[in-house]
C-alpha cells in the first residue's frame, strides 16, 4: 500500500533522511520508531506529499506521490505533530469544513462528519470550539480530519505525544480499531507504543533505517540467543578457556580483574539453557561462583544499542515492551 524506495532528504548540506526504504502492506499498522531528530516527521511529510524528496520514490496505493500527487493525497489522511485546528471553529464546523476541502460529495458530508466524529469519540464535543479542547480531544479531532475522506492510508505523526496515560490508552485503542480498514503508519519515540499497537516496526536513527521486523520476530530473535552474565572468583585462571568447553556454549568473553574476579559473558545455542552445566563447570574448576544471571536486553537497551554511535552495523533484535512508559523527551 505504501512503498518507500531509497528516500533521501537533504536540508542544505544536512542529510535528514538517508536512503530509507520500506513497504507497508494493506491493513498493516507500521510503527516508525526513533529518537527526536531521527527524521520521522521529514519522512512522513514526504509520504503525505507535503514536502518533496531530494532522492528516491514514494508511492501510496500505487500512485507516485511526486508525479501523481492528487491521486496519492486522495488516499492519504495525515495527522501532523500538531493537529491543524482552527481554534474559533466548533468541532463539527471544522470537520465539515475539512470534508468540503477534501472533496467529500456534498450529499455525504453531513453523514460522514457524524460518522467520523463517532468513530474518533468526539461527538460529545461537537459544539465545542476547537481552541477550548483538551490535548487529548484536539488529537482526536486531528484524527477525525485525517479520516474524513475515508483514505486507505493514515499517517500519524506522534499521535500519543503529550497525552496523559488514560488518553494514550484510548488513542492506542482507536488506532488499533482503525488498522484493518486502513493502512496506518505512526511515528513515536516511545518504545512501548510500537509493541502495543504495531504489526511491524521500522527503527530509524539519524535518518537511517537500523532495523525492520515484527515485534514478535524481534522478541523471538531476542530469546533465540541467550547471553548469561557470570561473576567468578578465579585468581590467575583462564576462565574463558575453562568455560568454552561446556556443551551448548557458543561464545565466552571474560574480563579478569586484578583481585581475581572475572566478569564473564556466555552465549549459548538457541533455546538451550546452560546454566546448570556452567555452574557445575565453575565449581568443578574449584572457582567461586558469585553471580549467574541472564543478560536479556530490555527494549530500552536494544533501542540504545541500535541508535547510539558505537553500535556498529549490527542489527540487533528489538522486542515488545515491558509495560514501562518511557519518559517524554
Q: Are strands 208-213 and 261-268 parallel, antiparallel or unpaired?
A: unpaired
Q: Does 16 bind ligand ADP (CB under 6 A)?
A: yes
Q: Which of 325, 320, 231, 241 is nearest to 279 (CA)?
A: 231
The entry of Mg ion, ligand ADP, none that residue 140 binds, CB within 5 to 8 Å by partner kind: none
34 near ligand ADP (CB under 6 A): yes
Using CA atoms, how far residue 80 sits from 22, 141, 172, 175, in Å, is 20, 12, 17, 15
Per the CB < 8 A criterion, the answer to whether 184 and 30 are in contact is yes
Q: Are 210 and 306 within 8 A, CB to CB? A: yes
Least Å from the CB of residue 158 to ligand ADP: 8
Helix, strand or coil for residue 222? helix
Tell whether residue 159 is a contact of ligand ADP (CB under 6 A). no
Positive or negative, the Cα torsion across 56, 60, 61, 64?
negative
Q: Which CB sits closer to ligand ADP, 91 or 202?
A: 202
Query: Which C-beta is closer to ligand ADP: that of 31 or that of 34?
Result: 34
Q: How far is the CB of 108 from ligand ADP (least distance, A)?
A: 34
Cβ-based nearer residue to ligand ADP, 48 or 120 = 48
d(CA 283, CA 261): 15
Q: Which does 37 bind (CB under 5 to 8 A by kind): ligand ADP, Mg ion, none?
A: ligand ADP
**Shortest distance (Å) from residue 298 CB to ligand ADP:** 22
List of residues contacting Mg ion (CB under 5 A)? 40-41
List of residues contacting ligand ADP (CB under 6 A)? 11, 14, 16, 34, 36-42
Amino acid at each position: 500500500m505504501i512503498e518507500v524506495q531509497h528516500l533521501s532528504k537533504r536540508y542544505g548540506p544536512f542529510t535528514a533522511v538517508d536512503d530509507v526504504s520500506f513497504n507497508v502492506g494493506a491493513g498493516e499498522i507500521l510503527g516508525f520508531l526513533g529518537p527526536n531528530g531521527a527524521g520521522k516527521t521529514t519522512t512522513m511529510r514526504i509520504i503525505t506529499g507535503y514536502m518533496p524528496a531530494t532522492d528516491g520514490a514514494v508511492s501510496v496505493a500505487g500512485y507516485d506521490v511526486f508525479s501523481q500527487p492528487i491521486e496519492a493525497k486522495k488516499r492519504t489522511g495525515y495527522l501532523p505533530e500538531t493537529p491543524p485546528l482552527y481554534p474559533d471553529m466548533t468541532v463539527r464546523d471544522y470537520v465539515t469544513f475539512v470534508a468540503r476541502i477534501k472533496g467529500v460529495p456534498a450529499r455525504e458530508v453531513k453523514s460522514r462528519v457524524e460518522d467520523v466524529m463517532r468513530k474518533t469519540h468526539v461527538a460529545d464535543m461537537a459544539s465545542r470550539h476547537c481552541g477550548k479542547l483538551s490535548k487529548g480531544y484536539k488529537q482526536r479531532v486531528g484524527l477525525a480530519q485525517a479520516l474524513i475522506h475515508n483514505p486507505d492510508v493514515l499517517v500519524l505523526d506522534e499521535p500519543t505525544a503529550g497525552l496523559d496515560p488514560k488518553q494514550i490508552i484510548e488513542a492506542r485503542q482507536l488506532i488499533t480499531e482503525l488498522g484493518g480498514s486502513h493502512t496506518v503508519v505512526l511515528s513515536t519515540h516511545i518504545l512501548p507504543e510500537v509493541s502495543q499497537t504495531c504489526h511491524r516496526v521500522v527503527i530509524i536513527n539519524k535518518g537511517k533505517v537500523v532495523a525492520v521486523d515484527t515485534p514478535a520476530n524481534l522478541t523471538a530473535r531476542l530469546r533465540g540467543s541467550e547471553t548469561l552474565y557470570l561473576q567468578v572468583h578465579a585468581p590467575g585462571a583462564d576462565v574463558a578457556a575453562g568455560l568454552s568447553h561446556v556443551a551448548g556454549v557458543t561464545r565466552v568473553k571474560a574480563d579478569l580483574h586484578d583481585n581475581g574476579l572475572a566478569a564473564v559473558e556466555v552465549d549459548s545455542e538457541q533455546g538451550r539453557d546452560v546454566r546448570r552445566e556452567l555452574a557445575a563447570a565453575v565449581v568443578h574448576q574449584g572457582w567461586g561462583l558469585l553471580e549467574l544471571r541472564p543478560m536479556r536486553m530490555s527494549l530500552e537497551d536494544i533501542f540504545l544499542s541500535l541508535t547510539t554511535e558505537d553500535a556498529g552495523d549490527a542489527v540487533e533484535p528489538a522486542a515488545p515492551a515491558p509495560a514501562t512508559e518511557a519518559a517524554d523527551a
